[in-house]
Amino acid sequence: TNKSVKCYFEPNLLDNIKEYLEKRVFVSGIVTSREDGEKIGIKVESIDLFPQEKDLPSGT
């Protein structure tokens, strides 16, 4: 959607977050939304890297 969502996290996740900057990640936690349902923030409970494209199986 090209819309940003603010992530709030505990200090113990800071090292992982620094390492993952500029990378595609999967974040889970508690989401906050506006009345219209648009997601605007998440309290991060865990963060993991998505595999890089070169590590994904090819369709050929």
1-56 pLDDT tens trace? 678 889 999 999 999 899 999 888 889 999 999 999 999 999 999 999 988 777 77
**CA dist., res. 44 & res. 40, Å (int):** 13
If one compares 57 and 15, the residue with the highest pLDDT of the two is: 15
- Number of folded domains that form the chain: 1
Query: Would you list the DSSP string of 24-60?
Result: -EEEEEEEEE-TT--EEEEEEEEEEEPPPGGGSPP--
13 and 44 Cβ atoms separated by less than 8 Å: yes
Asked whether residue 60 is assigned to any structural domain, the reply reads: no
Contact, 59 vs 24, CB < 8 A?
Answer: no
* Domain of residue 30, residue span: 6-52
Q: Is residue 20 in some structural domain?
A: yes
Amino acid at 41: G
